[in-house]
Amino acid sequence: FFFHLKLESKTKGKLQRQICQVVLNHFEKQYTKELGDAWTGVRHVLTHPLCWQYAVLLNRFSWSLELENTLCLKGYHPLFQETLPYLPGSLKCYIGRIPGRFPAQKHQPGKLKDYYLLNAASLLPVLALEVKDGEEVLDVCAAPGGKSVAILQCAYPGNFHCNEYDGLRSRWLRQTLESFIPTPLINSVTVSELDGRQIGDLNPELYDKILVDAPCSNDRSWLFSTDIHQATLRLMQRKELSSLQLQLLRSAVKALRPGGSLVYSTCTLSKAENSDVINLILNSCSNILPVDISDMGKAVSQEFTLLAGTQQHELLVLPEKGKAWGPMYVAKLKK
């Protein structure tokens, strides 16, 4: 018993030392103002990784009944119910109430993985996109590839363009796709390393559906920055991110066909990178309209804690103890 207490104390101390105080102080000031009382609960989850939960997205191209049975025996249950406006039967994701991570599978060339571990909230942008078979689809900032894999669990696009500007992350993206997608289907996936800000000019009005999962100030990882100088530099450059996000969105609008849909997402709580960016696009692009996703929000409110008072075309998932998903901001637009 005493050994257990000592070990627990040591673990807590280790985790506490890992928190970057410079980042926490910055978040404390900003999010107390933006989230009010909700920040206290969010702060507790973000600063205590032992609270974090991981979902298990099954790979329909390597389906295993044994795996589903194992997950059920371990107390996992299906994440999504049939009340969702868009929920393909082929998309299967399991979550457990107890914090912790299901064992990961290693990449083996030529062999498909059975599942992908992810933050369950990262599936919401994919569901909001509502991809159908045969559509032309673009994932502008696709690495590491979780959302691209999830899109292919939902439908068979006519052409699926996965783009990642960063060379190292692009290799990571390719490996992810090779690990989950069989050879015939991979032939319909184009992987590029283009500057996302130029795609609209290169491929004007080409796509039916576009996902802009934008580079952002990743609240979870930034809190555990080990290099204080790097963390300080990140915080100084944080204001520039909204400009990049706006440019990526403008490019995506150009690349979208009239009648097409666009989903914008980030994994930050920051208003400047979320609703402010969307409002700028809506106010400056007369051919873009907001799309109501409140029905999706209501349908997932059992499993996710959503910030109250958002507009009908957006939602923000707040991490909460027992529902430690997010942060994840999702907004949907139509051309």
Q: Which are the catalytic amino acids?
A: 267
Q: Is 272 labelled as part of a ligand binding site?
A: no
The beta strands (E) that lie in the chain are given as 55-58, 77-78, 93-95, 115-118, 136-139, 159-163, 189-192, 207-213, 256-266, 289-290, 314-317, 328-334
145 is in an annotated binding site: yes
144 appears as a binding residue in the annotation: yes
| Residue type present at position 45 | V
C-alpha distances out from residue 326 to 46, 214, 226, Å: 9, 15, 22
Is 32 within 8 Å of 269 (Cβ atoms)? no
Report d(CA 71, CA 68) in Å as an integer. 5
* 142 labelled ligand-binding: yes
162 assigned ligand-binding residue = no
**143 a known binding residue?**
yes
Exposed e or buried b per residue across 91-116, where buried means at least 16 C-beta atoms within 10 angstroms of its C-beta: bbbbbbeebeebeebeeeeeeebbbb
How far CA 231 is from CA of 20, 23, 199, 271, 272, in Å, comes to 8, 7, 30, 20, 19
Residue 82 CA, distance from chain mean position:
22
In degrees, rounded to 5, the angle at the alpha carbon of residue 332 between the alpha carbons of residues 289 and 269 is: 125
Within 13 Å of residue 226, how many CA atoms lie on the same side as its CB? 2
214 is in an annotated binding site: no
Cβ 319 vs Cβ 326: under 8 Å: yes
- Backbone φ and ψ of 139, nearest 5°: -110, 105
Residue 146 is assigned to a ligand binding site: yes
Residues contributing to the annotated binding site for S-adenosyl-L-methionine: 141-147, 164, 195, 213
